Structures are given as C-alpha cells and as structure tokens.
Structure 1
C-alpha cells in the first residue's frame, strides 16, 4: 500500500513551487481538448488532491493570474478523430493562448491502432491551435500496461505496452516537429510503479494526477525561464 502523501511525495510540487515557476506567466485563456485524461477520471487516493489533472493545471495558472478563463472540452472514450471533429472548432472559437491536447490512448489501446492516422489528427489540431496564437501542451502518457488491475489480462500487456510506447514516442516527435511544449510522463521515474494506477486498469489515481501536474508546471516554468520576454511582467516594462 502506498503510504506517502502529496506533500511528502518527492515527485510532486512543494508549497510555493507553482508560484515561483509560473510567476508572470502570460496565459489568460486556457483550453483543454481530449479524452478521459483531459476530462478527469483519476481515482481518488488518500493523501492526494481529489481535483482532477486539467482542473489542477488551471488552478495553478489562475493562482498567479487571477481571472484566467478556462474551457475543458475533454470527454471520456474519444479517439483522436473524434476529438478533432468535436472539440477543435469550439476550442478555436474560445481563442485560447494556451491549449492542452491529450488524446490517442483510446486509439492505441486495441490492436487496431493506426499510428499514422492518429499522427495526422494530432498534427491537424496542433497546427490549427498554434496558427490561432496558442501555445500547445502535449502529453506522453503513463503506460497503463503497468497497471496491476486484473481488468488488463496478461496476454494483452505486451502488445499494449508496445502500442502505448509508440504513441508516446510519436507524440513526442510531433511535439518537437511542431514546437509544442511536451510533458513526458512515459519516461518518468515513477512510470512503472503499480501504485500509480486506478483499479479500472485504464487511468491513474490521485498520485498519478499529482505527478502529471508537477511535470506540467515544471515544463511551463522551464519554457518561461528560457523565454523571459513571454512573461506578463516583461511585457509591461
């Protein structure tokens, strides 16, 4: 049984980390597109926040920029083409300056995964969001093949592990190609910890969400540190 709490977890944020890393950030309109990870279906875990991942990112952004507008379009079960068809238009209408895009896992879970088709959908969405002026965050997800849940039979795990790794590697390559801010959870030191996953075998628990939040804030903070002209305070000088 996992005995840490979020405040003790070495992979999670400490008090004051977000304020320091996100100080002066320029983002005022944050949109989230994607599947259940975007919507938020993490299983509660004692000692960790019950607020879902994307909502937590929005809260951290709002804490240093009161008045942040936030739109979460995420919905469980969607494949990449469905995210693009149903969410890209509303996201663009919202006119975000920061967008989080999380999809592809529902495509990669079955053996019918078509990686080139998923790549094409990701490219279409990222290109449109960036052309509209948004910085885009993409995620390389925790690999659910490491979940101890009996809902993932042993015979399924090797193929699932390979497909999820391929999805992550391809998403990372597209992020580099198109210039998104990429959060690599697949390669995280805790990524193979069975205590990270929910009982449903498809999602993480509160600890997984907390680590995802920490890594996302760190990526945003690194981007701001490397591009000091992007901060709101710099823009007012």
Structure 2
C-alpha cells in the first residue's frame, strides 16, 4: 500500500559515500534507493529526505522534526546521534533522553518508524576511545525502539560491513556498495525483496607496508581535517539544504526530478 516516506538524520541518510554528481548535494544513498523500490511496488509512493551531513541530534530535532510532522508521513526512518558521539563533551545519557523525546514525537503520528543502531566500525586505534560511548548509545537506541514499538535495523550486527569495500575512503561513511546493501536490509524490514549488486569475490588484503602507508594517508586526509573542523565549529553541512525537502513521486523519474531540484538549488 502506498504512503509517504520521510527520511531524517545526518550523512548516513543523506547518502554521503554514494557519490553521484547528478543528484542533489552530489549523493544518492540508500534512502533514494529505498524510495525508488517502494515506487516500483506502487507508483503512488511519495518521498522526502530532510537529512543533512554533520548534523547533531539537537540540530536534527530543531530543523527536521516540525517539517517532518507537517508532511504527515506514513513511514519515517531516523538515524541520528553518531556525530554527537564523536564530540567528547557529549553527555550520552542526556543525548539518549533527547533521542527518546524525538522518537516519541514521531511515534505519536502513527507512522511506521525505523530506527538504526550505529556500526561497530574498527577503523583505527585513534578512534577507539569513542567505542564505549558508542556501545552505550546503541544499547539506548535498542531500549527506546522496544519501548516505543518501532522497527529496528541493528546496523551493529550486519557482518557484511566487515568488508572494507563497503566503506568510503574516509572509513566512516558507507560506499556505494554499502548503501546498496543497506537498501536491501531496509526493504527486507519493510517486506520488499531487493537483491543488491555487491562484490562477490574476497577483498584483497594489503601488506604491512601498504597498510601503514594507507593509515598515515587516512589520518592526513580525513582525521585531521575532521577534528580541525570541530575545533573551528564548522561542519560539511553548514551550507547545504535538504536534498528532497518537499515530497516527490519517485515513479515520476528520479533523474528528471533530480535535475529540477538541482536547477532550483543553483538558481
């Protein structure tokens, strides 16, 4: 049965890592892919995506909650809080309390809600201090999901993401393959069959010298700039607008709709 799908959150839901210059904000992402598949089941499905990269939970609540409620969705996906975990000053208990208030407000609409845990991504010893906070946060999301009767996609448990090819070079966002796999998992949760196109061979394991070189390059290209932005109080999403703030009908053609949206953004 058709409905209106509204996607909320940060870079995970915006689609970062699934780069596509022909889509708004230069990304496609699992939510676009889910919306397209839903429209293939029923062309009357509508879709909006309010997510913007780098947003903290408080910003998602302030900027996305009221617009989402105004859209009267029947299906809502929420991924939020990951950027807060990377801020050492974040009080995780307070974060979870705000997250629960957010979920409660969304649940009151009667829409079907899908929540996500974060992935246990062992990308570097440099970020290991954040892991315990991540564990506490994920346990809180599971508890909140159960308390409010939402669906839960336990990203933490998806072993396919142990393959490094499922991740963008920054090691913190899914690659195109990762977004395709997430599409399949969300659709499976919704009762829609979708078989993603994924690597079917084993990933090549680099030697020690190449691994050390890659680690140094990753720190230079991604880690230092990320913490530099934190110190300056700026984010990659500061000058971006939501990709699909108003409902679209994916059955009308995502490429055509994307061209029209990008023209409006450019104008």
Judged with a 3 Å threshold, the aligned counterparts in structure 2 of structure 1 residues 172 and 30 are, in CA distance, closer, same or farther, namely: same
User: For 1:96, what is the secondary structure of its paired residue?
Assistant: coil
Contact 1:53 1:209 in 2 (8 A): yes
1:155 aligns with 2:126: yes
Deviations 1:51-71 (A, max 9, x none): 411111111111111121111
The answer for the alignment partner of 2:171 in structure 1 is 201
Deviation, 1:96, is 0.2
1:127 aligns with 2:97: no
1:108 aligns with 2:85: yes
Taking the TM superposition and a 5 Å limit, the aligned residue runs for 1:31-110 are 31-43=6-18, 51-110=28-87
TM-score normalised to structure 1 length: 0.72
- What root-mean-square deviation, in Å, do the aligned CA atoms of Structure 1 and Structure 2 show? 2.0
Contact 1:107 1:113 in 2 (8 A): yes
Deviations 1:201-224 (A, max 9, x none): 3211112112211111111129xx
TM-score normalised to structure 2 length: 0.65
The answer for the alignment partner of 1:12 in structure 2 is none
Deviation, 1:44, is 5.0
Extract unaligned runs of 5+ from structure 1: 1-25, 148-152, 223-237
The whole-number CA distance in structure 2 between the counterparts of 1:211 and 1:112 is: 33
Deviations 1:181-219 (A, max 9, x none): 110111112233333221123211112112211111111
Judged with a 3 Å threshold, the aligned counterparts in structure 2 of structure 1 residues 208 and 36 are, in CA distance, closer, same or farther, namely: same
Taking the TM superposition and a 5 Å limit, the aligned residue runs for 1:164-179 are 164-179=134-149
**Structure with the largest fraction of helix:** 2
User: For 1:132, what is the secondary structure of its paired residue?
Assistant: coil
Question: Which portions of structure 1, spanning 4 or more consecutive aligned residues, are displaced by more than 4 angstroms?
Answer: none
